[in-house]
Structure 1
């Protein structure tokens, strides 16, 4: 049976979910253009913004009623996966040809992304049990291999990587945004809200400072998004668990050490994402106004709290109002699309995001994990996937949850530390079976000694095939034992190229070409030759 969430989207392009922007409940890919595409040529006036604010309040009231009336879907253990991709030529340089590649792929599973060198692949939802990890791996390999062959017809190829090392600020300009109305619309509204060009300033191994006059730099961030459908009663525990383990995900999965020709953090996507979507001018930043890309600031007790925060803290970027009256739909026994609420949610970039959706006329909630970078291989992606789903299940069901022993501020600091240092990060974590404050521990020791056994137990609770469990978690174990992930491999390869006499641009291109060659072998990154 082919499962469906109504062909979910995830705002993976960094802006609007396709289902969040759609004008009709049910299947968001049917019925023509999204709300954003319909009004791209129109200006928003005061009446639009006032009406939209009222509609947002109505949507929130409708969500409260849906929760109170227990209208949400029963547990079905559904998970979903999306991967953002890059396009690069044989020389390792980015290829601005996504329209031509998509025309040749001719599959709804592949969609445009923000930059013309980006694509996204969507895997339909699966039940999280049995041979699901092996099934997903086969589907991904087949789909990506097919897409890669089609891309080669126009002198390009698919690259699964967090940030393409050969991208420069010259590539990331408005003219290289994908040619879809929704990208133009969001770019205009973000710039209008900010009122000035964006400043990118990231200090890591080296320092990058530059400015941008569009949201195009965000296209450098390509990620994996993991969806998990949960009941309202379990949502808070799953979201809190996902927040707690985000640092560990990054530590073992970092794959973005380069940005615009500079070696920065081991996972440079998060700081770039924050700065390239920041609608706050410096004065508002200094006042402590929250950025639209953020880790959060507290543990939660319900999904509703996150949607309430969205309305409380963030003005709508796209005040596009739908004709639906959500409260009237509820009064009539129907299920409202909550279009304004979901559209607004799609322009607030939490690393773990709540998602409201409808499938087969029944509403549901999902936690969307947006932490991981893409790549390096399908095997690595599936290892990261297994680690996340197993760990979240185990931690969400603990009798004394980790978030009752880990201050939220420490979880946020751990995330920052993991992004900076990757596999070499030191995180603070509660000591098993003991009281007291969290203590510093090497990320690899934390994963090996505590988190991998928990992930294995969680996968067992899902009913995942033991052989698949052991294969995937074994990849994480070997990364930790060898202290190798995509970021450390890229950095080591780049520095060897410099030592061999190449200049910076040549070394980055050589690293990218070698990465692509090994990526296509399918061997996990810890087994790649020429590692650190």
Structure 2
């Protein structure tokens, strides 16, 4: 969810004070990177999973306050929409059988939470965009009860000065105007965290940017929005447009969007925080009581609250994170590329595939990002979002290559090497990389399964809205089996 705020409106004086304070935080952060000891002796991984609530009719259930009260677990938090919740999974190391144990723990937690949600007439669905979400659901009391979200909505529209245009092409293009950031709530994702040292951060972030395209192509799970079939991972373009603070004139001037892939390889984590402060006006200019220079002078770790809050409103697909736990600072790469779902097994496969590749690529003597342009990495990401497993991507040494060929020839062997170097058990490596290999062999991820099922149901005479609801019913049934999506049956006699 991000840190809560104390205000929903901000004056000129408060914004000027915040601007000065965030620059002081940035200066202190630069000093800390040069002189301070960061916690990185035992790197930890972390995960956040966003979900949707639906009712018995598989349409959105605007009841996260009641559901969260019933779940009564601080690991579960509200998200932007009243039909959204998020599970925050405690950090843990990766070696050994940790992946298998994490899968069991996440399944147990989600099953318990879903049982409590059902008492309130709702159920939890892990999917990139809820396919039964329609424009009428995002009117009235669609937003969670949160000062942060209300302030964010007001700040985005104050910056724009006009309604937001949602224009997404694809097989069934969508064009509409919206008067709130409500469509952002449709975008539910899985976030992967990796703790790294200051000197290793740049290599890991650059590697994560290289991997964003293939990662997204294999994991796409968001082909429908407002009843339209759009991109394989529509969530990428929808999120970018629904939080865009720029009117057309600023876009035409080349002003950077807040949902941002970036524009260059980096040499330090400081590059990213400095860009955030230089390029992006504050949306939530909350000023804390902390004196960061004084805290550092006293030998204490400054929270750098303003810098962290601002960082949380610049939506990089691979975001830098500064945090303080038990008085010790640490740095993380937060990977925000992947959608939620379809199953816990699929999400763990996506996670270990990413972690294995990241470990291997960040330690190459001749890193991949020295062999390809940043623009090529960005183009891969856009192609992957649009076409999913059908995309053709650029890869050093292979040229333009299909996603299945790239995965089998290069990515799976590298991921296996990385996980073995990390000390992950052979059982876990085989299980999760086997799921990725099976997905490639079947040519089926969440997006392709959704489309094939809806097409089949409509061919039997169903309307689009009924087909989407029936597809989601089947999706939920399969989701609870925890069988990977590439093994799910498509429209057939067994569902007659």
Q: Distance in 1 between matches of 2:40 and 2:449?
A: 43
Q: Which residue of 2 aligns with 1:458?
A: 418
What secondary structure, in the 3-state scheme, does the structure 1 residue paired with 2:137 have?
coil
1:75 shift after superposition = 2.6
Q: Distance in 2 between matches of 1:129 and 1:531?
A: 39
1:531 shift after superposition = 6.8
Please tell me whether the aligned partners of residues 457 and 491 of structure 2 are also in contact (alpha carbons under 8 angstroms): no
1:71 shift after superposition = 2.2
The reply on whether 1:230 has 2:196 as its aligned counterpart is yes
Q: Which residue of 2 aligns with 1:479?
A: 439
* Residue from 460, 465, 468 that aligns with 1:505: 465
Q: Distance in 2 between matches of 1:373 and 1:360?
A: 31
* Residue from 131, 136, 139 that aligns with 2:97: 131
* Residue from 189, 202, 205 that aligns with 1:239: 205
Q: Distance in 2 between matches of 1:173 and 1:127?
A: 42
Q: Which residue of 1 aligns with 2:32?
A: 66
Q: Which residue of 2 aligns with 1:283?
A: 249
1:49 shift after superposition = 1.1
Please tell me whether the aligned partners of residues 174 and 213 of structure 1 are also in contact (alpha carbons under 8 angstroms): no
1:331 shift after superposition = 1.2
Q: Distance in 1 between matches of 2:13 and 2:149?
A: 24
* Residue from 430, 435, 448 that aligns with 1:488: 448
* Residue from 248, 269, 282 that aligns with 1:303: 269
Aligned residue runs from structure 1 range 314-329, under 5 A:
314-329=280-295
1:427 shift after superposition = 0.2
Q: Distance in 2 between matches of 1:374 and 1:222?
A: 6
Q: Which residue of 2 aligns with 1:270?
A: 236
Deviations 1:203-226 (A, max 9, x none): 011101111111111000000000
**1:262–1:324 Cα change, 3 Å:** same
1:326 shift after superposition = 0.5
Q: Which residue of 1 aligns with 2:313?
A: 347
Please tell me whether the aligned partners of residues 40 and 195 of structure 2 are also in contact (alpha carbons under 8 angstroms): no
Q: Distance in 1 between matches of 2:438 and 2:310?
A: 41
Q: Which residue of 1 aligns with 2:260?
A: 294
The reply on whether 1:52 has 2:52 as its aligned counterpart is no
Q: Distance in 2 between matches of 1:321 and 1:109?
A: 27
Q: Which residue of 2 aligns with 1:313?
A: 279
Aligned residue runs from structure 1 range 510-521, under 5 A:
510-521=470-481
Q: Distance in 2 between matches of 1:319 and 1:450?
A: 45
What secondary structure, in the 3-state scheme, does the structure 2 residue paired with 1:495 have?
helix
Moved over 6 A (4+): none
Deviations 1:408-428 (A, max 9, x none): 000000000000111111000
Q: Distance in 1 between matches of 2:303 and 2:226?
A: 40
Q: Which residue of 1 aligns with 2:485?
A: 525
Aligned residue runs from structure 1 range 112-511, under 5 A:
112-173=78-139, 175-431=141-397, 439-511=399-471
Please tell me whether the aligned partners of residues 110 and 122 of structure 1 are also in contact (alpha carbons under 8 angstroms): yes
Q: Which residue of 1 aligns with 2:49?
A: 83
The reply on whether 1:39 has 2:39 as its aligned counterpart is no
Deviations 1:113-136 (A, max 9, x none): 110111000110001211110111
Deviations 1:340-371 (A, max 9, x none): 00000000000000000011111110000000
1:325 shift after superposition = 1.0
Q: Distance in 1 between matches of 2:362 and 2:140?
A: 42
Q: Distance in 2 between matches of 1:112 and 1:247?
A: 29
Aligned pairs, number:
492
Q: Distance in 1 between matches of 2:39 and 2:222?
A: 37
What secondary structure, in the 3-state scheme, does the structure 1 residue paired with 2:222 have?
coil
Q: Which runs of 5+ in 2 are unaligned?
A: none
Q: Which runs of 5+ in 1 are unaligned?
A: 1-12, 19-33, 432-437
Deviations 1:94-151 (A, max 9, x none): 1111111111100001000110111000110001211110111011100100111111
